[in-house]
Amino acid sequence: MTTSARWRTAASEVLRAGAGFALADVDPDSTPGYTGRKRDGVDDLAEGATRLGELQERLFAQSVAGTAEGSVLLLLQAMDTAGKGGVVRHVVGAVDPQGVELAAFKKPTEEELAHDFLWRVERRLPEPGRIGVFDRSHYEDVLIGRVRALAPPEEIQRRYGAIEEFEADAAARGIRWVKVMLHLSREEQRKRLADRLDRPDKQWKYNPGDVDEQERWDDYMAAYQVAIERTSSEAAPWHVVPADRKWYARLAVQELLAEALAGLNPTWPAPDYDVEREKARLAAT
């Protein structure tokens, strides 16, 4: 149940966006905190899945027993092709689906647009004892929202503060935030998009709008920089995970998730019935 020794520094520490954070200084091809190479990373991911599964089962047991106090919420933001889907599949997909609440936020519907931007996310916050996953989130409203000017500048400005408050409230109610930006390089995105166009089993993942967004790469990076600066708080810190190497990105997110779960210190709930008496009753059937 321990972290691989190949983590030289805890992932939550080395990847955290703290004071003075500059996205431009993060190399998307790097592997911060981890001393292993790809082969080690693949091994550690498999071992980590067992550890994550055990922690999650304990947390789930608490939720069934009604004693769970907290939940973990993995929030994933990234440029297209950065590997959100792979993280969901290979990291989250390794634990019992019964304990996971996955919410994918797409382009808002008319109903969603009629409410404040936090409305649709608030109702998807995980129950105690669960792992929640936000595949995109309220950050879209200050990322594409800012780049594409989908709202007036003063509304965008208002949102940073609203997000910080919302996340702090949720944290106070027991939600442990794991906010992750998967950080890809523009060059790697171009390669991955080209790969999608080449493969009949990947063409469905491509849409022409992806190139338009590629052209606004620098605007997006600026929007991420501001969002991270303004909303990386004690209650809900951001972690920026280099994502040009898929194996590292998955391993790092798994590690962040495991650290958060371990932080809740879930233990098997004590039975609320008399075990010996039940054994006798069962034997008598």
What are the residues binding a copy of itself (CB under 8 A)? 61-62, 64-65, 85, 88-89, 92-93, 96-98, 100, 102, 104, 135, 190, 193-194, 197, 200-201, 203-208, 211, 214-215, 268-271, 273, 275, 278-279, 281-283, 285
Complex with a copy of itself: residue 65 or 171, whichever CB lies closer = 65
Please classify residue 149 by burial: count the beta carbons closer than 10 Å to its beta carbon, then call 0-12 exposed, 13-18 middle and 19+ buried. Answer: exposed
Least separation in angstroms between residue 113's CB and a copy of itself is: 21
User: With respect to a copy of itself, which residue has the nearer C-beta, 153 or 200?
Assistant: 200
**DSSP-assigned letter for residue 199:** -
CB of 213 to a copy of itself, least distance (A): 10
Closest CB to a copy of itself among residues 128, 269: 269
How many CA atoms, within 13 angstroms, populate the side-chain half-sphere of residue 126?
30
The C-alpha torsion from 9 through 11 and 13 to 17, rounded to 10°, is 140
Beta bridge partners of 100: 131
d(CA 15, CA 46): 21
| Whole-angstrom distance, CA of residue 204 vs CA of residue 212 | 17
Q: Please report how close the Cβ of residue 284 comes to a copy of itself at its closest, in angstroms.
A: 9
Shortest distance (Å) from residue 116 CB to a copy of itself: 25
Alpha helices in 66-116 (DSSP H): 84-90, 110-113
d(CA 102, CA 43) in angstroms, rounded, equals 26
Rounded to the nearest whole angstrom, what is the least distance from the CB of residue 49 to a copy of itself in the complex? 11
Beta strand 175-183 with 238-242 is parallel
Nearer to a copy of itself, 37 or 281 (CB): 281
* Closest by CA position to 55, among listed 271, 272, 270, 255: 255
Closer to a copy of itself by CB, 90 or 120: give it. 90
**Closest to a copy of itself by CB, 8 or 89:** 89
Nearest approach in angstroms of CB 246 to a copy of itself is 15
Q: Which amino acid is at 88?
A: V
